[in-house]
Amino acid sequence: MRKFDAIVIGSGQGGVPLAKKLAKAGWQTAIVEKRWIGGTCINDGCTPTKTMIASAAAAHIIANSQEWGITVSDFKVDLEKIVARKNKVVRSFREGTTKSMEKIQGLSIIYGEAVFSGDKTLAVKLADGGQDEIAADHIFINTGTLPSIPPVPGLDTVNYLTNTTIMDLTKLPSHLMVLGSGYVGLEFGQLFRRLGCQVTIIDKNKQLLQHEDEDVAVAVKKVMETSGVMMYSNANVQKIEQTGDVIRLQLTANGETHAITGSHLLVAAGRTPQSKSLQPEKTGLVLDEKGYIPVNDKLETNVPGIYALGDVKGGPAFTHISYNDHLVIYKNLIHMENVSIKDRPIPYCMFTDPQLGRVGLTEKEAKAAGYKVKIACLDMTRVARAIETGNTQGFMKAVIDSNTDKLLGVAILGPEGGEVMSALQLAMLGGLTVTQLKEMIFAHPLYAESINNLFMTLDK
């Protein structure tokens, strides 16, 4: 048995920086990873998808080049090259992260799968064979999630794709069907549509992106349909079967029955925590009914000395949140601060084109919380830069507290929507009023300049 001061299980977006910082602070630290350093974000999530989305954006511009007065006689999408470019970027991020850890004294990287074998004790099935037994007074669980496979009849009998396997295809699907219209379904749906595939997205919910305001969800749906994606909402998939290379879905949507056939099926129906396989009961760790690890505002679990960070604690499932989790733990443990995850801002950006940048309360959340609100909306067709660059889909929306004249939340569905949202996030954190934002000088003609115009709509 090897004893450490700290063990981090999983090398996700919180685990890696935490392990590095604890080791630098003089703690003998081990980080255990069963697959690849960098976890979901680098290997299966943000990095590869955004790299491939850049290729899809290039294909979109070339396919529509006439709109900008450029004639392109012919072009070819080479998925093998797109995937090779993606793999190169992923490899460089993964190797960079690994090297940055290898340099640190007092940090042991153990490749293998960790499972609790007793109180704060882990058995590690090593990747290159054999077993290690390790223990620590402080254990940090950063094991993330895997794709959820819903119990749809027949799904387990077909060759479905997940967010991981779809990015290894080297031939374009002729017709990609997608189960689920969350971030994963929408980003991949538009990506493959732009590369030339027929795409159909099916979701069981009536409103896509259920947590957003209805006007935002309707506008996102319009974006997808304008991209040429077929959308089925309020759908119940009753049966899935495969004959040869053809996958057939039988579903009802809004009272009508449909049979859809396609060449590929992507399951993008949410995520499942990697927690039960840890045998948490061996150390007395309690999970919730979905398998997530409940934590308090300081990310402590029910077992003193054991913490959970990132997606495995139940989200919000974003890289920047997992990263921020590590700061909360580190500052409290090493600098004896009193930092909490309570009331921290949760910005996010969906990388469809146009992007959806969001922070703070939605209109419905603000009203439910009892705020007296004012709403400012500006269509992208009225944003100078959007007109100039030829991308006028979407709109900007701000939810304002009528009593304080300050922002409660924003949704920016537009080109560079994530960047504009971030500017407004800073304004929210700085406590700027809407009147100040309306009159603030921004460089012309940035998208951000339209922040003036967004709040001018309140004067009418």
* Contact call for residue 97 and ligand FAD (CB under 6 A): no
Distances in Å between the Cα of 409 and the Cα atoms of 18, 84, 361, 435 are: 30, 39, 5, 16
Report the partner that residue 6 touches, choosing among ligand NAD, ligand FAD, none (CB closer than 5 to 8 A by kind).
none
Q: Is 444 a catalytic residue?
A: yes
Q: Does 153 bind ligand NAD (CB under 6 A)?
A: no
Q: Which is nearer to ligand FAD, 306 or 383 (CB)?
A: 306
Q: Is 221 among the annotated ligand-binding positions?
A: no
Distance of CA 106 to the CA centre of its chain: 32
Distance (Å) of CA 140 to CA 202, 365, 439: 37, 33, 47
> Which residues neighbour 429 within 8 Å (Cβ) at sequence distance 6 or greater?
345
Assess 283 for contact with ligand FAD (CB under 6 A).
Answer: no
- Give the DSSP letter of residue 457: G
Residue 203 contact among ligand NAD, ligand FAD, none, beta carbon within 5 to 8 Å by kind = ligand NAD
Biggest CA pair distance of the chain: 72
Residue type at 64 in one-letter notation: N
Determine contact, residues 205/182, Cβ cutoff 8 Å: no
Residue 20 lies near ligand FAD (rule: CB under 6 A): no
* Residue 322 partner contact from ligand FAD, ligand NAD, none using kind-dependent CB cut-offs of 5 to 8 Å: ligand FAD
Rounded CA gap, 426 and 340, in Å?
20
Closest-by-Cβ residue to ligand NAD is 182
Torsion (CA) 18, 39, 224, 256 in degrees, nearest 10: -120
- Report which residue's Cβ sits closest to ligand FAD: 144
**For ligand NAD, which stretch binds (CB under 6 A), given 7-15, 181-189, 239-247, 399-407?**
181-189
> Residue 204 or 326: which CB sits closer to ligand FAD?
326
Distance in Å, CB of 12 to ligand NAD, minimum = 13
For residue 119, the minimal CB distance to ligand FAD (Å) is 17
Q: Is 355 in the site for ligand FAD (CB under 6 A)?
A: no
Angle at 325 between CA 41 and CA 415, to 5 degrees: 50
Binding residue per annotation — 185?
A: yes
Positive or negative torsion for Cα 206, 211, 214, 215? negative
The three-state secondary structure class of 57 is helix
Among 15, 182, 189, 409, binds ligand NAD (CB under 6 A): 182
Q: Take residue 3 and report the two structure tokens written for it.
A: 């004893």
CB 417 to ligand NAD: min, Å? 11
State both tokens at 5.
């001061």
**Which position among 51, 55, 274, 324 is part of the footprint of ligand FAD (CB under 6 A)?**
274
Choose the binding region for ligand NAD from 184-192, 238-246, 419-427, 451-459 (rule: CB under 6 A). 184-192
Is residue 202 part of the contact set for ligand NAD (CB under 6 A)? Answer: yes
222 annotated as a binding-site residue: no
CA pair distance 51, 45, nearest whole angstrom: 10
Which residues are CB-contacts of 216 (< 8 A; sequence separation ≥ 6)? 209, 356, 362, 397, 411, 413
**What would the x/- binding string for ligand NAD be over residues 328 to 357, using CB under 6 A?**
--------------------xxxx------
Cβ-based nearer residue to ligand NAD, 8 or 191: 191
Q: Which residues on adjacent β-strands are paired with residue 231?
A: 201
Query: CA triplet 432, 438, 440: central angle to 5 degrees?
Result: 75
Site residues (CB under 6 A) for ligand FAD, limited to 110-149: 113-114, 142-145
The candidate with the shortest Cα–Cα distance to 226, out of 245, 199, 206, is 199
Give the amino acid at 174: S
Binding residues for ligand NAD, rule CB under 6 A, total 25
253 binds, among ligand FAD, ligand NAD, none (CB under 5 to 8 A by kind): none
Which of helix, strand or coil describes residue 151? Answer: coil
Shorter beta-carbon distance to ligand FAD: residue 46 or 440 = 46
Binding status of residue 223 toward ligand NAD by CB under 6 A? no
Q: Is 327 annotated as a binding residue?
A: no
Return the active site residues. Answer: 444
User: Rule CB under 6 A: which residues touch ligand NAD?
Assistant: 150, 152, 179-185, 187, 202-205, 237, 268-271, 317-318, 348-351
